[in-house]
Amino acid sequence: MDAPVYILSSTHDPHASALAWALRRNGVPSQLNPSIRVDQRTRLSISIDEHGQQHVSLDGLDAQRVRSIWHRRPLLPEAGHCLEADRSFIKGQWKYLQKNLFDLADDLIDTLWVNRPRAAEFAESKLAQLRAAHAAGLKVPDTVVGNDAAEVAALIARWNRVVFKTFYLQHWQSESSGRSYEMTVALLDASTPLPDAAIGVSPGIYQRYIDKVLDVRVTIIGGQLFAIQMQQSNGEAYLDWRPHSCDENMRTTVFNVSATLETKLRDMMQRLGIVFGCVDLVVDRQGEIYFLEVNQAGAFLFVEESLPELPILRAMAAMLSAGRTDYSIDDCVDVRMSSYLDSDEYREINAMQRDTGQQLVLEP
């Protein structure tokens, strides 16, 4: 049997489903698992002998024959069927076994990791991203991370307008009204109240507001990259484009990445140790480009859905199939996002989301 591709993510994840579908179209076997533990039958062993030789076996498969591993958004392993009194302990045992495997991923499983677990964890740090981007020669906005109201006030005094961001997206539902809310970016200025107690209770990211004309999303898939620019149809930029990614008012076109910018982006990726990432940039009114962040497990299907001429799904399938970052997109059959949206796999995962009361999200 051909070496498979392992995809570590939720079974409700449309990106994981799309890649599994694309790989099947290419005759490449894949295994989609939420974690290293699939069910009660999962058998995993990691052996290290007295000479330091290491070996991993997962459900009888020699881990050295894995084609590639997409470490997208793995979950913590479940305990499965067991006594309730033992559940917490067994779940903890699986949690730390998974951590042990991920901590030594490079040495234990010699294959292409997208991305390597320890590098992926490091790259989730906003401060690490800003430092790597600056070291690579990218412009970064003046930033304060923390919960010190005086520092936030000083940042506003320097730049007049500041954007507040959370470390991660947060959604919640009001118990009284039933309405759904989400925490998005907020624009702060000199008139914004900055009570020390309110800011002190929860840290955040405060960043100089760039008076931008457009947003840029660069999806880097190993040796290839795909870039789009986004703005409103009237030519103005959004404060935050993400909530508007499905709006008819959003105008999306291809963005041409210069050789100089590409070199800087690849330098940043190398400093973070990742081979896949979705980079958010902004362009100000003087044409200067600023780095905002990179999401090492970012969404990318919406890019091809908006601009079908960008073969992002095919590129990701080609890299995972080849098990190399220097893949050729021509080695992969022409799989398209539009065909996936017409597939049984998409209809199935869409139904799964509806059954759980969730909305299927292809965009970031």
The distance from CA 34 to its chain's CA centroid, rounded to whole angstroms, is 16
Read off the pLDDT of each residue in 188-199 and give the average, rounded to a whole number. 92
Nearest C-alpha neighbor of 114 from the set 229, 276, 293? 276
**pLDDT (tens digit, 9 = 90+) per residue, 231-287?**
988 888 888 888 777 778 889 999 999 999 999 999 999 999 999 999 999 999 999
**pLDDT (tens digit, 9 = 90+) per residue, 22-75?**
999 999 999 999 999 988 888 888 888 888 888 888 776 666 788 999 999 999
HSE, side-chain direction, 13 A CA sphere, residue 6: 25
Nearest C-alpha neighbor of 141 from the set 158, 125, 123, 124? 158
In this predicted model, which residue has the larger pLDDT, 122 or 352? 122
Contact 360, 348 (CB under 8 A): no
From CA 322, how far away is CA 108, in angstroms rounded?
20
Q: SS3 of 198, please? A: helix
Contact 255, 227 (CB under 8 A): yes
The reported pLDDT for the residue numbered 138 is 98
How buried is 81 (Cβ within 10 angstroms: 0-12 exposed, 13-18 middle, 19+ buried)? exposed
From CA 317, how far away is CA 354, in angstroms rounded?
27
Contact 6, 31 (CB under 8 A): yes
The reported pLDDT for the residue numbered 174 is 67
Nearest C-alpha neighbor of 225 from the set 311, 338, 129? 311
The reported pLDDT for the residue numbered 181 is 65
Domains defined for the chain, CATH in brackets? 5-122 (no CATH), 142-208 (no CATH), 212-355 (3.30.470.20)
